[in-house]
């Protein structure tokens, strides 16, 4: 069921600035915020953002459609039982989710919707490969933890807005509300892209001088091209 006007709502937070007409990804260094518990396995991309919202190519405006089939009733009103509609979790920036998050079709709208809502980090025991890769390209940190660690974090998240979780990418740690700290692993190159706020375009543009030099060399050697 389509929630009317979902694509017209302004983003709660903007994670993309514009410079020279190109989207610039925000850096991810440290995040402290409310974590929403979503103890459901196999949350697929159609649950994250249903297919009727895929017509747009804009990265903003999708936040209000995030998890729309769970967030809204058939008449378009909010489902008060869904976690993101509860007062304590309306401004969640972290999601603690069940196994195999982001499975299903390969739609980049899924991380777009999460980001537009304000989510910068998703923690689970596993992710679908394509969704996992798309997160890094859009400034979202997906963290893989053990089942035991997930249970601890889920328990912390269920405490509500008074129990915030802190994620530090530089030290690769997650700190709970009681001070307990968990360590997580991440590929060094992916870590670098998030710390520096580099999407694929930005990474390429960093090599601008070398690219220009090569183009000039080719132009001189093959002026007919």
Residue 1 lies in a domain: no
Q: Pairing between strand 164-168 and 141-144?
A: unpaired
Residue 174 lies in a domain: yes
Residue 149: which residues within 8 A CB-CB, separation 6 or more? 182
Beta-bridge mates of residue 17: 24
Structural domains counted in the chain: 1
d(CA 138, CA 201): 11
Residue 12: which residues within 8 A CB-CB, separation 6 or more? 63, 91, 116, 117, 118
Residue found under tokens 């080719």: 218
Residues comprising the chain, all counted: 225
Q: How far lies 59's CA from each of 101, 104, 170, in Å?
A: 21, 20, 27
Q: Quick: pLDDT tens for 118-165.
A: 999 999 999 999 999 999 999 999 999 999 999 999 999 999 887 899
Q: CATH number for the domain including 210?
A: 3.20.19.10
What six digits make up the tokens of 2?
Answer: 């389509």
Residue 133 lies in a domain: yes
Beta-bridge mates of residue 121: 94, 141
Q: What is the pLDDT of residue 210?
A: 74
Of 64, 166, 165, the closest CA to residue 115 belongs to: 64
Q: What is the pLDDT of residue 58?
A: 77
Residue 27 lies in a domain: yes
- Range(s) of the domain holding residue 178: 6-221
Residue 11: which residues within 8 A CB-CB, separation 6 or more? 60, 61, 63, 116
Residue 162 lies in a domain: yes
Give me the residues of the chain with pLDDT under 50, please: 1-22
d(CA 64, CA 71): 9
The pTM score is 0.81
Q: Pairing between strand 141-144 and 121-124?
A: parallel
Cβ neighbours of 50 (radius 10 Å): 21
Q: What is the pLDDT of residue 5?
A: 38
d(CA 29, CA 141): 10
Q: What is the pLDDT of residue 224?
A: 79
Q: Pairing between strand 181-183 and 121-124?
A: unpaired
Of 114, 34, 12, the closest CA to residue 68 belongs to: 114
**Are 132 and 102 in contact, with CB atoms under 8 Å apart?**
yes
Q: What is the pLDDT of residue 2?
A: 40
């Amino acid at each position: 069921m389509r929630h009317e006007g979902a694509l017209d709502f302004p983003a709660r937070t903007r994670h993309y600035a514009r410079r020279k007409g190109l989207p610039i990804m925000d850096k991810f260094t440290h995040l402290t915020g409310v974590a929403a518990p979503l103890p459901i396995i196999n949350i697929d991309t159609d649950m994250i953002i249903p297919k009727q919202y895929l017509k747009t190519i804009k990265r903003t405006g999708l936040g209000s459609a995030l998890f729309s089939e769970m967030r809204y009733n058939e008449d378009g009103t909010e489902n008060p039982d869904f976690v993101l509609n509860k007062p304590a979790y309306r401004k969640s920036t972290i999601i603690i989710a069940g196994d195999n998050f982001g499975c299903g079709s390969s739609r980049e709208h899924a991380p777009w919707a999460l980001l537009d809502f304000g989510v910068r980090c998703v923690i689970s025991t596993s992710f679908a490969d394509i969704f996992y890769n798309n997160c890094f390209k859009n400034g979202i940190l997906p963290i893989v933890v053990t089942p035991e660690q997930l249970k601890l974090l889920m328990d912390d998240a269920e405490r509500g807005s008074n129990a915030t979780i802190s994620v530090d990418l530089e030290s690769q740690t997650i700190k709970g509300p009681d001070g307990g700290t968990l360590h997580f692993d991440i590929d060094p190159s992916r870590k670098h892209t998030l710390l520096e706020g580099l999407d694929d375009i930005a990474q390429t543009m960093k090599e601008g001088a070398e690219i220009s030099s090569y183009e000039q060399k080719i132009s001189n050697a093959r002026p007919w091209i």
